[in-house]
């Protein structure tokens, strides 16, 4: 088995696309309309454009358990997912300069350094550096 696509629920796909490309630096890979208000929309790392894709999946509007789950994770400060980076401090400073809001500043935890930010689409996202 291989990881091909992971999904991140987002409250607004267009806003998410802008944040994930303009702030985080991902590039759009696939954008296929599925309905009036939904698209199969993926982004990838510019360094691994044939690697795993992040599906910016619309949060289920009519499925209350999913809405409660996403909101509960966010309010508890728990990251929905994480992305690896070479240098958490450097990435933290770059993103802060772009206006990204962090709930956890760079922190060493055993063999990793982490930081957590708000993706503006209903999720906390963690960046991780292996030490």
pLDDT for 98 equals 98
pLDDT for 7 equals 96
Q: What pTM value is reported for the model?
A: 0.95
pLDDT for 57 equals 95
Q: Can you list the positions of beta strands (E) in the chain?
A: 5-10, 27-35, 38-44, 53-58, 81-84, 102-109, 112-118, 124-130
- Which domains does the chain possess? 5-130 (3.10.180.10)
Per-residue pLDDT of the chain (131 residues; tens, 9 = 90+): 999 999 999 999 999 999 999 999 999 999 999 998 899 999 999 999 999 999 999 988 778 999 999 999 999 999 999 999 999 999 999 999 999 999 999 999 999 999 999 999 999 999 999 99
Distance between CA 110 and CA 129 in Å, rounded?
Answer: 11
């Amino acid at each position: 088995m291989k990881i091909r696509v992971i999904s991140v629920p987002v409250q607004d796909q267009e806003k998410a696309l802008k944040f994930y490309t303009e702030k985080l630096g991902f590039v759009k890979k696939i954008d296929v309309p599925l309905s009036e208000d939904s698209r199969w929309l993926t982004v990838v790392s510019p360094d691994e454009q044939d690697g795993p894709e992040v599906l910016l999946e619309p949060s289920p509007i009519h499925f209350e358990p999913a809405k409660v789950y996403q909101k509960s994770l966010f309010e508890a400060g728990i990251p929905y997912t994480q992305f690896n980076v070479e240098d958490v401090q450097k990435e933290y400073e770059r993103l802060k300069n772009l206006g990204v809001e962090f709930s956890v500043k760079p922190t060493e935890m055993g063999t990793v350094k982490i930081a957590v930010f708000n993706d503006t689409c209903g999720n906390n996202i963690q960046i991780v550096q292996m030490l």
